[in-house]
Amino acid sequence: MPSSGGSKGKSTRLAIVEQSLADTVERLRELPPGPRVRELRAKAEGYDRALRAWMMRAPTEEQRAALLKLVLELNVEVMKVGRGGETDA
């Protein structure tokens, strides 16, 4: 039987968001500094704040889905910058 909570009240979607965000932040640390990296780091920090706020107040399913989409898009952006597919503009 699926559980909406679990012992820590964490959904699979939130676990994916946490791991993806951690991976993204790690990739950002490895990139040379520049305006685009700073912009992406600021996005990551904002998403992390939203995620931490959910520890106090559970998000709606729509909020979870939206943050998952944003974090995955950020991850793709960071990978593009890391591959040199995007330059600082």
Q: pTM score, two decimals?
A: 0.79
Span 73-86, pLDDT tens digits = 999 999 999 988 66
Per-residue pLDDT reduced to its tens digit, 1-58: 343 444 345 678 888 999 999 999 999 999 999 999 999 999 999 999 999 998 889 8
- Determine, yes or no, domain membership for 25: yes
Total structural domains within the chain? 1
Domain that holds residue 30: 12-82
Q: Is 18 a domain residue? A: yes
Residue 88 lies in a domain: no
Query: Does the residue 54 lie in any domain?
Result: yes
Would residue 44 count as lying in a domain? yes
Looking at residue 2, its pLDDT comes to 41
Is the separation of the CB atoms in 6 and 47 below 8 Å?
Answer: no
Distance CA 38, CA 56 (A): 28
On whether residue 6 sits in a domain, the answer given is no
